Homo-oligomer: A and B are copies of this chain.
């Protein structure tokens, strides 16, 4: 699931026009990759269409063969990145027997992903300003998946009782900030170590009476 989704899938989830020839499909992929680089390095507003097309090695006009606007590629990219994180982390989570271990493993996987793709924060976070709907959708759907896991785990008796929605947002917030600090900004701890501390926290908390 780590591998990039094929062109068909990309086209299905985004708004760009579907190419009818092989050459067209190649150009579209080049543009998407170039856009990821450009937005990742410079952010939405500093990025320019002309730079994207230069990176992709095509003419400016070709950009508009596939996208209607700068905003549209950006949205396509956010969805792409969002799907990539999910596809990277999900299998690592499901591989675990116990949900508490699974969440810890998920943290670690996310942190590793952040180290590999330091641009995700620039891209996803900027959606808050460029395309709020997609931004909200990204976090809301992520939280929904976490909550569903917690509900199931509770049914199986693996975790204590408590609002799964609130817990989901708390867990997601932890992940995001641990990923930012220890994945993107610094590597003064290994993903294992960070996840060990984080996992311990969500499993047993900080109350000394419980350890």
Contacts and interface: CB of A to CB of B under 8 A. Distances in A.
Contact of A189 (B125, B166, B189): B166
A58 interface: no
A200 interface: yes
Contact of A177 (B173, B198, B207, B211): B173
B205 A201 contact: yes
Size bin of chain A's contact surface? 35 or more
Given A143-B181, A185-B136, A194-B166, A206 B202 contact: yes
A68 interface: no
| Chain A interface, DSSP helix/strand/loop, else mixed | helix
A182 B166 contact: yes
A197 interface: yes
A204 interface: yes
A101 to B, nearest CB: 11
Interface string A42-86: 011100000000000000000000000000000000000000000
Interface string A129-144: 1000000100100010
B204 A202 contact: no
Count identical subunits in the complex: 4
A62 to B, nearest CB: 15
B208 A210 contact: no
A166 B143 contact: no
A143 B177 CA distance: 10
B197 A166 contact: yes
B182 A178 contact: no
Contact of A126 (B129, B143, B189): B129
Contacts of A43: 129
Contacts of A163: 189, 193, 197
A90 interface: no
A108 interface: no
Contacts of A150: 206
